[in-house]
Structure 1
Amino acid sequence: MRVPGLDSGPRRFVIARALSRSGDTVFPIGLAAAMLQKDFSASDVGVVMGASLAPVVLLMPFGGVILDHFNPKTPMVVADVVRTVLQGVLAALLLAGPPPLWQILVPALASGAAQAFFQPGVSNMLRQLAPDRLRQSNATVRTVESVVSLGAPALAGVVIAVTDAAAVIALDACTFAASAWLLAGIRLGSGPVAAAPKFWGQLREGWHEFTARPWLWSVVSVFSLFGLVVFGPFDVLKAVVLIDRFGASAYAWLISGFSLGAVLGGLLALRASPGRPLRTGLLTLLGFTPLPVVISFDLPAALVAVAMIAGGAANAYWAVMWSTSVQSHAPPHVLSRITAYDMIGSIGLMPVGRALTGAAAGYIGTATVLSMSSVALLVGCMALLLVPAVRTLPAVQLPRGASSPAEPTSNALEARDA
């Protein structure tokens, strides 16, 4: 597979990300189907899926320190190898027969822990591989991942139809193994000296750099609330509402429509070069706003599909603008830690939002919850556009010593440290 416009290292990285994305897409399908085939309850499935997120949130700051302190490639390859073994063990346990629930929970928790030492390094590694083509590289990664998301669920469906659903988890293990092999073959420049990091001091340094940039912490703070009141409820209710209304098959096609939109959004981000990427990205993200409301109405599937495509495109375009801005403006030596704080803020409240969705829908109604999600997204985006540091953040870092409303100069940061 050749990715146009990228050299060997970035190309291997993009393919590795695509393989990991395909595994991430099919794993929940395979796990749920395999556990239900083995007579586990829906509650058991939810417990296992939710359990894997806890170590990610708890350990990601330490993963950020490790990935900043050492060459990020090595911890990422080790994390992929560990997840290869864990997914292989989980697949074997499920193929052998119904295991006790704890034997499923342990690999899920350990896999989440491994992810915490992988994910913060993605931005760092891409920045090293393509420092002069960050926007194009992020857009390429997002587009390729979205293309994979279109076909991976269909492949999982075929595997489940012809064999045991646990075989899908074995395929997921293969994607981690392939990702580890591809990443191991990438050459990076020499990293920092591999001495033992001082975790608490480096965590404080990363937190200082994170909070010193108003554009960064304000966006993450708002998106933390989005996880609680927008994306958490939407993730749950879109499946419940659309499957009930159109059936599981039509729902799968609608999700593919969202992935198709993400492909279009990634391609648009590949061609566009806005001078104020966060402002443009937030204005584009408003295209996601109608989607929860559209789902709440009893509309034909074709109209829902249009909203899905538009929402997927808006979400993907914003994701590229945000990732590129973080990679361009965050200091290289703390990028993994900043990415870790970003991810924790973004996903930290999402499980709470998912857990409370059922009770909220039962109390005020599903349509009201979805409408509130749309309103919250609109209000949050408009609020961020009123923040000068967000609205005026330039597409490229200013020269050293130049002042900007987007972030303090290095002298100001040094004075604050003193």
Structure 2
Amino acid sequence: MRRVLGSDAGLRKFVIARALSRAGDSVFPIGLAAAMIQQDFGASEVGVVMGAALAPVVVLMPFGGVLLDHFNARVPMVAADIVRTVVQGLLAVLLLTGRPSLWQILVLSLVTGASQAFFQPGIASMLKQLAPGRLRQANATIRTVESVVSLAAPALAGVVIGLADAAVVVALDACTFAASAWMLAGIRLGNSEPVTGPPKVWRELREGWGEFTARPWLWSVVSVFSLFGLVVFGPFDVLKAILLIERFGASAYAWLMSGFTLGAILGGLIALWTTPRRPLRTGLLALLGFTPLPVTISLDLSVALVAAAMVVGGTANAYWAVVWATSVQTHAPAHALSRIHAYDVIGSMALMPVGRALTGVAAAWAGAATVLFTSSAALLAGCAVLLSIPAVRSLPAVLPARGPSAPSISTRKP
């Protein structure tokens, strides 16, 4: 990793900022849920709050992509981090000084989600400017560091809750946003085209959508992964907790999830050390390592076998995430990258809440084992479909100088 970051201060600051953000993302749900339960909020109220931040992300992210493509991406991202610092700090104060009303917590959660919509799309754009010739290595480094943080941060949150108050964890989340804003503000990007006026929002949304749909490898993968959210990852997220806690207990479940995170660290390191000539083909073949995991959870197997499946699944998932992010950043046009990233994120996550919501009904009707077997079969079938598409399996690691694989409907920044 030191070789990847080298003496590039800007890239180092960006990696640190991402690690801080991931630390905050990891501990915030734990701290907020614990604080609300301590103040006698019910499970349904906690669930509503946890889901409240998602709606503005889905609705506003395309507009965030327009803003981040039109202006220097760093500036809106710093502003979004500052807003989240203030909002999370206010929420921590409300929780520490009394019992806030549910509507206050909901409003602050919605503002946090809206801020994320104007931050998330700029990640790909900034990384492409900071590491144009080392995108795979930079993505792998970030993924590995984030996985390490995700492994350690919840344990720290547990210590803080045990020694102080759960609301202190929310305050620490605010501090991570402040530190991230400070790191991003210190990054100096290369020269960019001058901004001549406000963005023409609807035109730029259409142009971004045109760039997205002009690339079959891009929209086909996002379409299939949207279905994965419905029938694979949504049900898996719900049933893994229920089944594993019932079978092995909450403590063992925590250790098993740590195994998944350890696998993610390994997947990031493998992506850092390898250079596939056809990254999407290699990534999809690697993702097949996730296929046995839902089935393994549904069977009455030993904790050791489940732990092994968790490590392999985490490795496969992380490796795919790195090669996918790198492919998008390499082959998507720089002037529309934030908008394309926004469409990618929205498409990939759109049906996951539906999958989670329907899991209970499906499990009650067909049984949890049937649902998880279906998840494994759907993942296998989806990967096979994508590997059968020439634009996906043949996408090169490096953008060719000429050719139809990376068309661009616009040659300049709108």
TM range, normalised to the smaller chain?
A: over 0.9
Q: Tell me what 2:44 maps to.
A: 43
Q: Structure 1-normalised TM-score? A: 0.96
What is the distance in 2 between the residues matched to 1:244 and 1:89?
A: 37
Give the aligned residue type for 1:258: F
Q: Corresponding residue for 2:76?
A: 75
Work out whether residues 71 and 192 of structure 1, in 8 Å CA contact, stay in contact via their aligned partners in 2: no
Name the SS for the 2:395 alignment partner.
coil
Rounded to whole Å, the distance in 1 between the matches of 2:154 and 2:304 is: 21
Q: Which residue of 2 aligns with 1:59?
A: 60
Q: Give the C-alpha shift of residue 20 in structure 1.
A: 0.5
Q: Aligned residue for 2:4?
A: 5
Q: Any conservation in 2 of the 1:71–1:190 contact (CA below 8 Å)? A: no
Aligned counterpart, 1:200: 202
* Matched residue, 2:190: 189
| Matched residue, 1:171 | 172
Tell me if the contact between 1:69 and 1:192 (Cα under 8 Å) persists in the aligned partners: no
Question: Could you say if the C-alpha distance between residues 414 and 62 of structure 1 is closer, same or farther in structure 2, counting changes exceeding 3 Å?
Answer: closer
- Per the normalisation by structure 2, the TM-score is 0.97
Q: 1:414 to 1:36 in 2, by over 3 A?
A: closer
| Partner residue in 2 for 1:273 | 275
CA RMSD for the aligned pairs? 1.3
Q: Deviations over 1:302-358 (max 9, x none)?
A: 111111110110000000000000000000000000000000001111111111111
Amino acid at match of 1:398: P
Separation (CA, whole Å) in 1 of partners of 2:160 and 2:326: 36
**8 Å contact 1:360–1:369 — kept in the other structure?**
yes
1:219 matched residue in structure 2: 221
Residue 412 (structure 2) pairs with residue 403 (structure 1): no
Distance in 2 (CA, whole Å) between partners of 1:192 and 1:240 is 52
Q: What is the deviation of 1:4?
A: 4.2
CA contact (8 A) 1:226 1:377 kept: yes
Q: How many angstroms apart in 1 are the aligned matches of 2:2 and 2:406?
A: 34
Does structure 1 retain, via aligned residues, the 8 Å contact 2:399–2:406? no
Partner of 2:300: 298
Q: Which amino acid aligns with 1:333?
A: H
Deviations 1:345-373 (A, max 9, x none): 01111111111111111111111111111
* CA distance in structure 2 between the partners assigned to 1:8 and 1:231 by the alignment: 37
Verify: 1:364 aligned to 2:366, yes or no.
yes
**Superposed structure 1 runs of 4+ greater than 3 Å apart:** none
Question: Conserved in 1, the CA contact under 8 Å of 2:127 and 2:135?
Answer: yes
Deviation at 1:217, TM superposition (A): 0.2
Once the 2 structures are TM-superposed, how far is the Cα of residue 37 of structure 1 from its aligned partner?
1.1
1:263 to 260, 265, 268: 265
Equivalent AA in structure 1 for residue 231 of structure 2: V
Query: CA shift at 1:82, angstroms?
Result: 0.4
Deviation at 1:191, TM superposition (A): 2.9
Query: Which residue in the other structure is 2:357 paired with?
Result: 355
Q: Is the CA contact (8 Å cut-off) linking 2:264 and 2:315 kept in structure 1?
A: yes
**Deviation per residue, 1:34-55 (Å, 9 max, x gap):** 1111111111111111110000
SS in 1 for 2:277: coil
Quick one: distance in 1 between partners of 2:162 and 2:246? 22
What's the CA shift for 1:214?
0.1
- May I ask how many residue pairs the two structures share in their alignment? 408
Between stretches 198-207 and 362-371, larger displacement belongs to 362-371
Give the letter for the 1:214 counterpart.
P
Matches within 5 A, 1:236-247: 236-247=238-249
* Amino acid in the other structure paired with 1:341: Y
Q: Which ranges in structure 1 are unaligned for 5 or more consecutive residues?
A: none
- The Cα offsets for residues 226-258 of structure 1, whole Å up to 9 and x where unpaired, read as 111111111111111111111111111111111
Matched-pair contact (CA < 8 Å) for 1:207–1:338: yes
Judge which range, 198-207 or 237-246, deviates more: 237-246
What runs of 5+ residues in structure 2 fail to find an aligned partner? none
